[in-house]
Structure 1
């Protein structure tokens, strides 16, 4: 059973991709709340919000790299530099297959790098992986 305290933040500017993730979660029975930001600035604001759902709650971030305003690598640098947010679990979900993007992502300690081009069965496997990860992983206790 997934912890009711777990939250998933999808950082994705494309409405079609965001809807596909939502549908994938529903089909796989992943019942934890899924929130969405359309760029890195908005995502950081949500995660830092003092009176919202994300303050002091364990969460997983699904991050697209190609975003407006603050892109994925900039978001990763900001989140890893933040004392409160650096322990967050980030999976990259992107169209980029560029080895430089992969290296940048992993240098910021992402938990995984998945390309969106692997749609269909592989995408369903990703959603199931995230559901299983959320069920069996022990997240840090937040103050």
Structure 2
């Protein structure tokens, strides 16, 4: 079955958090098989996310972080001295904010492309009644149940 990566990752995390003690052996086995099928997708996604963060936090990012610290110091001093920010100081802060807005946008685009990528997973359908038993025994929300809806028969 083809699904978006984020859907598989969310299902993996929701299944992993379930307490399956109240389920039938057959349902527990289906949960285990699905965990086994979804784990590589989740691990690859987490690794890709970390690589994106590392890639984006390059030398330019480090320089901008330093500029942020310096700008924060300028703001602090201006408050202590009870004075307004100079036009140059305001321009510096605006430039820093603009750079980080573009940086965030680029990061969000990368992350969205990773999340939206379709992957092939072989799942064992879960019995909805058995899944409900597991949810009753776990501290999970209906939001988590919704993430598993596509795994039920």
Q: Give the alignment's TM-score, normalised by structure 2.
A: 0.26
Q: Which has the higher contact order (CA 8 A, sep 6+)?
A: 2
**Rg larger for:** 2
Query: What TM-score, normalized to structure 1?
Result: 0.27
More helix by share: 2
